[in-house]
């Protein structure tokens, strides 16, 4: 008796919307085109929310998650590991992967804070620049209002001085 191996996957919501619009994707099957041997049919067994891999401003792209025990269906694998010591863990991970297969590459090892900081760097710069220009505009407005008040005050004093200088003295008095 031979065992039939079924390839399964979990897809994200963007994948489900794009390839199965208005349908329930769980239980549906699809193929991934690949050169060489005909690709197996993959059965969808679950749906997960989308992940913003390339920054919060980028749209979530359709993704498929397959168990590693099924073999390599796609090139490249992303792992997320929770650890307080990113440097030690990444060094150990590189060592283990190199020991298993010299041709495999471990790259882009970042902490969640580093990933988030990189993702938000452009937004942060834009907000700082906007704040600086807003502060400059506020300063220019304050200087303009101060100058206007000063000019108005000077003008009023000059009018009073002019009126006082030319005012008739003793007009209408009887002595």
pLDDT in tens, 75-125: 666 666 777 787 888 888 888 888 888 877 777 787 778 877 887 888 899
Same domain, 72 and 136: no
Is 68 in the same domain as 130?
A: no
Same domain, 119 and 131: yes
Count up the domains in the chain and report the number.
3
Angstrom distance (rounded) from CA 140 to CA 131: 14
| pTM greater than 0.75 | no
List the one residue out of 5, 7, 4 whose CA is nearest residue 41.
7
Do 14 and 48 fall into the same domain?
yes
Paired with 10 in beta bridges are: 46, 65
Domain membership of residue 142 (yes or no) is yes
The mean of the pLDDT values for the chain is: 81
pLDDT of amino acid 2: 44
CA distance 118 to 123: 10
- Which residue is listed with tokens 């297969």? 101
Do residues 72 and 3 share a domain?
Answer: yes
pLDDT at 21: 93
Q: Which residues of the chain have pLDDT under 50?
A: 1-2
Answer yes or no: do 86 and 70 share one domain: no
89: containing domain: 82-109
Q: Are 45 and 77 in contact (CB under 8 A)?
A: no
Pairing state between β 29-30 and 42-48: antiparallel
100 is a domain residue: yes
């Amino acid at each position: 008796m031979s065992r039939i191996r079924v390839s399964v996957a979990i897809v994200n919501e963007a994948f489900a919307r794009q390839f199965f619009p208005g349908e329930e994707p769980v239980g549906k099957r699809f193929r991934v085109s690949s050169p060489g041997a005909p690709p197996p049919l993959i059965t969808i067994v679950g749906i997960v929310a989308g992940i913003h891999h390339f920054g919060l401003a980028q749209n979530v792209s359709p993704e498929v998650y397959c168990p590693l025990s099924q073999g390599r269906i796609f090139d490249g694998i992303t792992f997320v590991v929770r650890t307080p010591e990113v440097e030690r863990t990444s060094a150990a991970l590189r060592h283990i992967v190199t020991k298993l297969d010299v041709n495999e590459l471990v790259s882009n090892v970042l902490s969640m804070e580093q990933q988030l900081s990189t993702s938000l760097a452009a937004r942060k710069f834009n907000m700082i620049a906007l704040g600086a220009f807003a502060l400059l505009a506020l300063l220019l407005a304050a200087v303009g209002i101060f100058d206007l008040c000063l000019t108005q005050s000077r003008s009023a004093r000059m009018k009073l001085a002019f009126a006082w200088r030319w005012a008739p003295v003793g007009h209408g008095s009887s002595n």
